[in-house]
Amino acid sequence: MKIETYRKSQKFFYRWYFRFYHRLKVIGLENIPDGSALIAAHHEGGYDLDNHAMSCCHPTRDIQVLDWFS
């Protein structure tokens, strides 16, 4: 499977999952600047679903997530 196909299917799944299971509502997309940006979730813990929610929230931009496990 190509990486682009994998990312599109992953983004589709997480959008559906967060919208219907967690009732995620995204506000403030206009505050994300054009070009490069660093978006950081403020959580302590191992595997948070917030990172995946951020990666699928923007309708037009492809947001890459860096998971840091310590």
Tell me 52's DSSP state. Answer: H
Domain boundaries, the chain: 3-57
- Determine contact, residues 51/41, Cβ cutoff 8 Å: yes
pLDDT in tens, 2-41: 878 887 888 888 888 888 888 888 888 888 888 887 777 6
CA 55 to chain centre: 2
| pLDDT of the residue at 68 | 61
In the chain, % of residues over pLDDT 90: 0
Query: Rounded CA gap, 44 and 58, in Å?
Result: 24
Q: Which residues contact 10 (CB under 8 A, 6 or more apart)?
A: 56
